[in-house]
Amino acid sequence: MTKIRVGVLGARGRVGSQVVGAVEAAADLDLVAAVDAGDALEELTAGKAEVVVDFTHPDVVMDNLRFLTGNGIHAVVGTSGFDQDRLDTVAGWLEGRPELGVLIAPNFALGAVLAMRFAQQAARFYESAEVVELHHNRKADAPSGTAAHTARLIAQARAEAGLGPGPDATTSELDGARGAEVDGVRVHSVRLPGLVAHEEILFGAEGETLTIRHDSMDRSSFLPGVLLAVRSLAGRPGLTVGLEHLLDL
Amino acid sequence: MTKIRVGVLGARGRVGSQVVGAVEAAADLDLVAAVDAGDALEELTAGKAEVVVDFTHPDVVMDNLRFLTGNGIHAVVGTSGFDQDRLDTVAGWLEGRPELGVLIAPNFALGAVLAMRFAQQAARFYESAEVVELHHNRKADAPSGTAAHTARLIAQARAEAGLGPGPDATTSELDGARGAEVDGVRVHSVRLPGLVAHEEILFGAEGETLTIRHDSMDRSSFLPGVLLAVRSLAGRPGLTVGLEHLLDL
Amino acid sequence: MTKIRVGVLGARGRVGSQVVGAVEAAADLDLVAAVDAGDALEELTAGKAEVVVDFTHPDVVMDNLRFLTGNGIHAVVGTSGFDQDRLDTVAGWLEGRPELGVLIAPNFALGAVLAMRFAQQAARFYESAEVVELHHNRKADAPSGTAAHTARLIAQARAEAGLGPGPDATTSELDGARGAEVDGVRVHSVRLPGLVAHEEILFGAEGETLTIRHDSMDRSSFLPGVLLAVRSLAGRPGLTVGLEHLLDL
Amino acid sequence: MTKIRVGVLGARGRVGSQVVGAVEAAADLDLVAAVDAGDALEELTAGKAEVVVDFTHPDVVMDNLRFLTGNGIHAVVGTSGFDQDRLDTVAGWLEGRPELGVLIAPNFALGAVLAMRFAQQAARFYESAEVVELHHNRKADAPSGTAAHTARLIAQARAEAGLGPGPDATTSELDGARGAEVDGVRVHSVRLPGLVAHEEILFGAEGETLTIRHDSMDRSSFLPGVLLAVRSLAGRPGLTVGLEHLLDL
């Protein structure tokens, strides 16, 4: 078996160092360069990297991507801070390189991505949907970005299917009991020490409910998604935004 | 085995008729009178009822209780509408009758009663607690009375243990996301067709969570509690308010 | 809006009578015939039924289908007892009738069908999967047919993705603790009074789990699936086996 | 406030080092000695420790306890390997020292202890109970010791209440589907990567279920129980086996 030659950018960071370990542990991947601030990007070309994983910083990720696309290296990017301008710029760099792929994803946890996808698929079959997300008590925002995004996807799928608001007979409510409303979908945020990051999506129709739950127990939960991206990016040229597009669901 | 002689008041009502069926089906109970509006209360004494179950109406329940206590018959009461005045009146009727027992309970679902009791017991061991209740979409109030009551019990147990508010780092909240606050305990209300009546009490501390969940799948869930009350009331003289006092926890 | 003209076969049966009620309640459907044993099938043609729902008996369902296909009426069939021979016969009746559709489905609960479909989709992304099904204590078989079928779908998806058995370090097992094995996927059957019909499919990978749960609280949970079939069958000619094919997932 | 003076034995071990950190972080506790193999036990007396926590090894724990009891120091012991002989020996050392307390506990996770206690309390009110425990896939034994112990406690409470086996209509079982039997209570063991240590105890009666669930997300989950023991041991002289006895439930 020919191994895929992988480089890591941000290799000494909290996330990047876990990627380094996971690449080293994978039988079908070969770690050829582990680069961080202060190292030369040329280590990646010297190591003949075919795919590079970038968990760095918004300040440097565009320079990294210009280098990678300029040298014909696929990129898997978990660094944040991409707006439409930046996406357009990256797409421009990919023009005339029909074989080259860049994946930019805000969330590499496969379970979170699958849960959102299934929620989208299920939404039009149910009269109502609500989202409950549960996180440790050090989280600053409520609801979580993932839960808000899930609610918007559900709302969109409902709208496309011609569904109006779910039935709700509440006439007497203690302020906040029914949660926050995101595009008409109720979202509830539980905060407790001991929790990590959990999301539950509930659908209800006459006589039955369907629940999709994702439990992230550990920060390492993004690793399987990163490795899946590394392995499938060669067959997916162009700019891809969001891991879900690599899952062939 | 001597069977307990049981009468039912409100015997043709939605709830009472199920009590009739359950008493008939129980090997240790003997249904001696099934009385409803228009029938004479004397059927109960004629049948030599030892215990009578009353699921009737606030308008008639006091007359029923005066008759029962006056005739030395124990009473298990699920009818609503008891304020302190009414309770004092019933207690007065019991004076000078040291062998007689009356139980008045708002909730006969054993699981709901146990869940509340366990929540009270667990509360002082955890930094934080939250309540999620889930009901069908035809429910008018949010949160449910049971969930609000549970939150108050938790708040009281926390206060007695000297615990302040649970830690919460939320600085950015979409209105309602963190639920309603009942005596400082967050309560979240989910409403979906397909659900019946469910309550989940979550406790969190470093590295662990404890969850107590009660699922009421069917209206018949109050029956085991009613039968337990019928069987244990003879040994519990005086006025008892709340099924939890009969559980010897 | 032109309403769809619907007939029901087995209209006075436990299931059929609920279908009758649901069709009558639906604004876009028109109940034109409610037929049961002893009634003439010609009531369906007299009523100009476009679609007929059949919840009858294996002994009569083939006669019903010959009549329906012979008269150009679409059929939604929940009656059991279809083997390959019967399916081939029905397919034969549909030859030369390119506009006509017959759906035969063992399970009309949308949530059960979606849960199985999502389980199939998720299976190849996870190292391990197990199924827990929970039913009332009057159920004779363990595991349930749905859970066994789900396990086989997961096993097939894993095999297609080249996944071997999930990792399991168990060296000391009390007989039965690890459940039953269905094509290498572990299935656990819980039986408790109070439960109705529930299935939970759990997937695990490093640091995360994904859970898909279906709760059937009431026998009426098959109705939304039947109505969906009635509404979409006109656009789905030929013989279709399994509701999942009508969901366009 | 006078702080409690605490020593730690096994202070550089995986568990002990976490205890050291937790004692240092607690405002009401004062770490006066952190002792490990090679250090002198006299550091504990020199530091005037009032309570010592021992997470060491079966080979040395008895020597440690002889030293502690001989010097009038309370002991909180999480080290394993205590049989009746050892317990008798420790009880002997405590004779004539009516003020001194020793707690020996196999499990300091408060949630696990509470879950077991609540299971015991609930058992006699339900027709049936089953236990599902879920662990990471590196676990060697199935069921877990905690789950087996929980099942035995439930069986004992059922027997004391005169309850026979729960109703079970299973006539056709795929081998293992109904789990393992521990004193007549069914226990199911799920093993998945991504899980940590979870236990779910389910009770069922007509129309309702009660579920008690403990999730241990992190090894640090034993710390709150250790600190609770340190704080309450002064008021609990003699030998105590099991954290549950300190909880005053």
Cβ-Cβ contacts under 8 Å, B217 against chain C: 194-196, 217
Same domain, B208 and B242: no
* Nearest-10 crossing angle of helices C110-123, C145-160: 30
Same domain, A19 and A51: yes
Cβ atoms of residues C6 and C50 within 8 Å: yes
Residues 203-242 of chain D whose Cβ lies under 8 A from any Cβ of chain C: 203-209
Domain with residue B234: its CATH number is 3.40.50.720
Cβ-Cβ contacts under 8 Å, B140 against chain A: 169-172
Angstrom distance (rounded) from CA B13 to CA B37: 10
Cβ atoms of residues B4 and B51 within 8 Å: yes
Cβ-Cβ contacts under 8 Å, A129 against chain B: 192
Q: Which residue has the tokens 């006078």?
A: D2
D164 is in an annotated binding site: no
Nearest to D104 by CA among D59, D61, D48: D61
Task: Give the per-residue pLDDT at D57.
Answer: 94
Same domain, C49 and C81: yes
Task: Give the per-residue pLDDT at A106.
Answer: 87
Task: Give the per-residue pLDDT at A219.
Answer: 79
Task: Give the per-residue pLDDT at A234.
Answer: 81
Judged against a pLDDT cut of 90, whether residue D220 lies above it is answered with no
Task: Give the per-residue pLDDT at C249.
Answer: 81
Task: Give the per-residue pLDDT at D234.
Answer: 81
C173 interface with D at CB cutoff 8 Å: yes
Same domain, B174 and B213: yes
- The answer for residues whose C-beta is within 8 angstroms of residue B21's C-beta and 6 or more apart is none
Quick check: helix, strand or coil at residue C148? helix
Quick check: helix, strand or coil at residue D2? coil
D15 is in an annotated binding site: yes
Same domain, B8 and B27: yes
Cβ-Cβ contacts under 8 Å, D195 against chain A: 217
Mean pLDDT of chain D: 95
Angstrom distance (rounded) from CA D126 to CA D202: 10
C-beta neighbour count of D157 within 10 angstroms: 18
Query: Cα D108 to chain center, whole Å?
Result: 4
Nearest to A176 by CA among B178, B176, B170, B131: B176
Q: Which residue has the tokens 């209209």?
A: C11
B196 interface with C at CB cutoff 8 Å: yes
Cβ-Cβ contacts under 8 Å, C208 against chain A: 109-111, 214-218, 221, 224
Same domain, C192 and C239: no
Quick check: helix, strand or coil at residue A58? helix
Residue in chain C closest to A124 (alpha carbons) equals: C247
Rounded mean pLDDT of C86-94?
96
C194 interface with B at CB cutoff 8 Å: yes
Strands D51-54 and D197-205: what pairing? Answer: unpaired
Q: Tell me: the pLDDT tens digits for D23-78?
A: 999 999 999 999 999 999 999 999 999 999 999 999 999 999 999 999 999 999 99
Q: Look at B170 and A194 and tell me if their CB atoms are within 8 Å.
A: no
Chain B touching partners, 3 or more CB pairs below 8 A: A, C, D
Low pLDDT (below 70) residues in chain A: none
Out of D74, D135, D188, D214, the active site residue is D135
Tokens of A17: 């160092």
Same domain, C116 and C212: yes
Rounded mean pLDDT of C83-112?
94
Q: Look at B118 and D214 and tell me if their CB atoms are within 8 Å.
A: no
Same domain, D32 and D127: no
Tokens of A247: 């899952």
Q: Which residue has the tokens 């004539």?
A: D96
Q: Tell me: the pLDDT tens digits for D68-120?
A: 999 999 999 999 989 999 999 999 999 989 999 999 998 899 999 999 999 99
Angstrom distance (rounded) from CA A60 to CA D205: 61
Same domain, C125 and C89: no
Task: Give the per-residue pLDDT at B248.
Answer: 83
Q: Which residue has the tokens 């708002």?
A: B106
Task: Give the per-residue pLDDT at A235.
Answer: 84
What is the distance in angstroms between the Cα of C146 and the nearest Cα belonging to chain D?
14
Q: Taking CB atoms and an 8 Å cut-off, how many pairs form between chains C and D?
A: 181
Cβ atoms of residues B32 and B8 within 8 Å: no
Cβ-Cβ contacts under 8 Å, B197 against chain C: none
- The answer for residues whose C-beta is within 8 angstroms of residue A115's C-beta and 6 or more apart is A150, A199, A201, A212, A213, A214, C210
Tokens of D244: 């549950």
Minimal Cβ distance to B178: which of A173, A176, A182: A176
Angstrom distance (rounded) from CA B175 to CA B179: 9
* Nearest-10 crossing angle of helices D84-94, D58-70: 10
C15 is in an annotated binding site: yes
Judged against a pLDDT cut of 90, whether residue D218 lies above it is answered with no
What is the distance in angstroms between the Cα of A154 and the nearest Cα belonging to chain C?
15
Same domain, D142 and D230: no
Task: Give the per-residue pLDDT at C86.
Answer: 96
- Domain of A19? 4-104+220-246
Backbone phi, psi, residue D41, to 5°: -60, -25
Angstrom distance (rounded) from CA A74 to CA B31: 80
Cα–Cα distances in angstroms (integers) from residue C183 to residues C114, C154, D80, in the given order? 21, 9, 40
What is the distance in angstroms between the Cα of C84 and the nearest Cα belonging to chain A?
30
Q: Look at C204 and D193 and tell me if their CB atoms are within 8 Å.
A: yes
Cβ atoms of residues D28 and D4 within 8 Å: yes
Cβ-Cβ contacts under 8 Å, A204 against chain B: 137, 192-195
Residues 95-124 of chain A whose Cβ lies under 8 A from any Cβ of chain C: 109-111, 114-115, 117-118, 121-122
Q: How many domains does chain C have?
A: 2
Q: Tell me: the pLDDT tens digits for C139-185?
A: 999 999 999 999 999 999 999 999 999 999 999 999 999 999 999 99
Angstrom distance (rounded) from CA C25 to CA D26: 64
Q: Look at A215 and C208 and tell me if their CB atoms are within 8 Å.
A: yes
Same domain, B137 and B71: no
Cβ-Cβ contacts under 8 Å, C194 against chain B: 215, 217-218, 221
Task: Give the per-residue pLDDT at A114.
Answer: 97
Same domain, B155 and B56: no
What is the distance in angstroms between the Cα of D205 and the nearest Cα belonging to chain A?
20
Known catalytic residue at B135: yes
Share of chain C above pLDDT 90, in %: 92
Angstrom distance (rounded) from CA C219 to CA C77: 17
- Strand segments, DSSP code E, in A73-123 are 74-77, 101-104
Q: Look at B207 and D219 and tell me if their CB atoms are within 8 Å.
A: yes
Q: Is D174 exposed, middle or buried (0-12, 13-18, 19+ CB in 10 A)?
A: middle
Chain D touching partners, 3 or more CB pairs below 8 A: A, B, C
Mean pLDDT of chain C: 95
Minimal Cβ distance to A211: which of C126, C206, C213: C213
Chain C touching partners, 3 or more CB pairs below 8 A: A, B, D
What is the distance in angstroms between the Cα of A42 and the nearest Cα belonging to chain C?
32
Residue in chain D closest to B214 (alpha carbons) equals: D210
- The answer for residues whose C-beta is within 8 angstroms of residue B71's C-beta and 6 or more apart is B44, B45
What is the distance in angstroms between the Cα of B90 and the nearest Cα belonging to chain A?
32
Domain with residue C124: its CATH number is 3.30.360.10
Low pLDDT (below 50) residues in chain B: none
pTM of the entire structure? Answer: 0.91
Angstrom distance (rounded) from CA B174 to CA C236: 44
Mean pLDDT of chain A: 95
Positions of A annotated as catalytic residues are 135, 139
Q: Look at B196 and C217 and tell me if their CB atoms are within 8 Å.
A: yes
